[in-house]
Structure 1
Amino acid sequence: MPRKKYTSEFKTKIVLSILQGDKEFNVICSENGLNPNMVRKWKQEFLQNAHLAFGADSL
């Protein structure tokens, strides 16, 4: 069975939900049928690349 692909928008929505803390991490994963390890990787990637949201010259 092929792996399911998730859009960047979906990943961002999930990570932002986790960062907002309205629900527990495991609840968000369970409600969306997601593997917690995969979501941890999304969160790590999101946080590592957050500086790109403002561009190189926006200080």
Structure 2
Amino acid sequence: MNGKRRKFSAAFKAKVALEALKERESPAELSKRFEVHPNMISKWKQEFVENSCL
């Protein structure tokens, strides 16, 4: 590990969350494509759903 934390923009998190909600790819495939841990995708997806006005 390089020991540096990466900061992701709200727009990037929303983009990843929307892709996860589409369920066209598995979390593992999304994590490879966006180069983030699958747990982060799950977290961002949950936050997106909780904060959206449905």
Q: What TM-score do you get using the length of structure 2 for normalisation?
A: 0.80
Which has the higher Rg, Structure 1 or Structure 2? Answer: 1
Q: Which structure exhibits the higher relative contact order, with contacts defined as CA atoms closer than 8 Å and separated by 6 or more residues?
A: 2
Which 5+ residue runs of structure 2 have no aligned equivalent? Answer: none
Q: Aligned pair count?
A: 52
Counterpart residue identity of residue 5, structure 2: R
TM-score, normalising length from structure 1? 0.74
Identical columns (%): 33
Cα offsets for 1:8-58 (capped at 9, x unmatched): 11111111111112222210111221111111111111111012xx8xxxx
5+ long unaligned stretches in structure 1:
55-59
The reply on whether 1:39 has 2:41 as its aligned counterpart is: yes
Q: CA RMSD in A?
A: 1.5
